[in-house]
Structure 1
Amino acid sequence: MDWQQIFATRNSRMAASEIRELLKLLDQPDIISFAGGIPDPDLFPAQAFQQAFADALSPENQATALQYSVSEGYPPLRDWIVGQMTALGIPCTRDNILITSGSQQALDYLGKLLLSPGDTALVGWPTYLGALGAFNAYEPRYDRLDPETNRSAEDYAQAAGEGRVKFAYMSVDFANPTGRTLDAGMRERVIDLADELDIAVIEDAAYQSLRFEGEALSPVLAREIARRGDINACRTLYCGSFSKTLAPGLRVGWVCGAKEVISQMVLLKQAADLHSSTINQMAIERVATAQFDSHVAKIKEAYRGRRDAMLRALEAHMPAGVTWTRPEGGMFIWLELPKSLDAAALLASSLRSERVAFVPGHAFFADGSGSNTMRLSFSRTDDVMIDEGIARLGRLIAAAL
């Protein structure tokens, strides 16, 4: 049977994630990997989760833990998230929260909810590869989101052609892949632009808790609430996740936004998977209630040390002409190489000769540009491995130049 003849047209926009493919290299013991932006498993609160799951499966709780549940999510967990959102300057209620199977599912739902074929999504240049993967299935066009410029709403609208601009997507704190943070002025400008275009704002806050230094900036949604006075009058949708703070394998994330949008997303949830795992939500709620702040402080200390080690190694080993970001948090450093170099070709050479993995930057650009860029993650390597791996990369790049 020729399956290609009956696949939907959207399948042509779907491709394997380069990062997911590179994660397979982690099983090779001689590879120094800066590729996967994944937490260090040695930092998981494993004992706390063992106790949380035991409690969830106790005689008094097991009927709830193992049964179907409401699509909106486990109520005590949503209540805990309400407290977190309120502390960030986002007063809300349980009805403003939907639990999703990781924030990746939230991005998929928002693409499905907001995009018709030919509509335009405004994204960073580069932007999170997983967001492009989530949105691609709904056949959008992409345009570069430029809050740091004076590009007009009319210009964005004209570039959209026959479709219309539907939303601006951005990771505002320690972004994947660049590690950059959107400053206060640009956050306000995004709200202004969204008002002018009458579009939604998707705020991906996966790394918001992982600030090592510098001034904490209030989320875009908090700033919009300060303008309008009520979350239900806001156009910003905040996507949060426990994957980078507690445990990615449990696949628990959330969306916080206006009730009108959340209620529509609940319908998508009911059609897709009914609800996220109840027992996983119960375990997350118990661990988060007991030790979220103290655990986040622990992992921030560890990741800050690794970031510092990578910045030192880059200064020591990279040849002239290579530049990089200096993130105040998160898991990533973004390198820009001289224009003559191609990072994908360098990766092939690196895996053969130096046994160091990274992610070529072109995967993060909606138009496939950025061939001379790369993303490095410092989350899973110790100081010695970081110095050795960066030294090997520096040697490879110098030889290529």
Structure 2
Amino acid sequence: MDALANPVLISVLVLCLLALANVHVILALLVAALTAGLLAGLTPLETVDLLLSGLGDQGETALAYILLGILAVMVSRSGVTEKFVDVLLPWISGRRGATVFLLGGLACLSQNVVPVHIAFIPLLVPPLLTAFNRLRLDRRAVAAALTFGLKAPYLLVPLGFGLVFQGIVAQAMKDNGMELDSRLMPAAMAIPVACMFVGLLIAVFVTYRRPRDYAEVSTVFTERSAGADAPWNWRHTVVVAALAVSLVLQILTESMIIAALGGVLLMFLLRVEAWRDGERIVPEGVSMMGTIAFVMLLAAGYAKVLTETHSVDALVAHMGNWVGGSQFAAAVVMMAVGLVVTLGIGTSFGTVPVIAAIFVPLAASLGFSPLATAAMIGTAGALGDAGSPASDSTLGPTSGLNADGQHHHIWDTCVPTFLHYNIPLFIGGVTAGLLL
């Protein structure tokens, strides 16, 4: 199979072009999956069957998103988030840059210190949209900061999700014949993450520094609830306790489903909301997070088509024909392959084992050190996660910033994060591979 006719390359290109043309990401994913299947020699029916068989791979994540949406609606209706915003407003008033970096810092904590991943976004960001509007804050800068916080910490810091990701890289290298102490991973990823930070600074202080106006749109998150103006009472205390229970359950069980469900049930059982009010609360939560949950399901199906047809394996196998004996060419090709594969699969964690099987032998044959190889594998896995329409690193920020319907997933999240992070990561990965 000619490399340029590889189903992964063509279908990812179709996905990106359709998304950029404002075709909804669900339709774009379906068309891209059919394209990949047909190019791999499957019939349309076989492709759809394969796609459906992969939906369950992200079923837990999709259900967790729905439950997080319900939890976010209940918290918002209680007035607790508005009280928090009232306390926060004097600190962020007139400080657009500080606000952006505060949210980016919270996202960083969600990966390592308190590993809740994107769970905090639908709870915290929608109630802040009114404050963002007063600041005339460009939400693209916020999306860039949130995505940085969702990616950079697990690449660099060996705690929480970072410990998992770095362990996957070290184990994948070992499985393919190259040993590396996982404790050296932060040193391997320092240059790529530093390049990412430069991209963040450019996004906040150059590209999106100018004020941007948004309309005041009434939603369940922007309407001031009666509980926001009432004195602190037992309902507010129960809501805070429910959030604490959710956090503890997330840490203990590592399941966002159990964590979110625990918080929701506790608020119902202690009468923060009446059971009959679920008829309104659940649809509002589904409305907020349902589309994103379904995108994650389809993304898993699309990834299944790409992997089960061995299109990814074929693409990676072509690498040896492209690089000759040049370390520079090899580093560039590794980054390019990682970018394409992760754009399609939508997860850096799932990309690493796929690409390591070829990257490790190739790097060894060209004389790359284990540290340089780890840097290239880790960076190649992360490339494309920012900017991918199907990645939770982009879907998470959009879920919060688009609560009032004024933030476009592709043009306001995916394109900004693609430009400001994938280009620096590409440069950083090549540089680290040649210097380490």
Given the two structures, how large is their TM-score scaled by the length of structure 2? 0.27
Greater per-residue strand proportion: 1
The structure with higher relative contact order (CA 8 Å, sep 6+) is 2
Greater per-residue helix proportion: 2
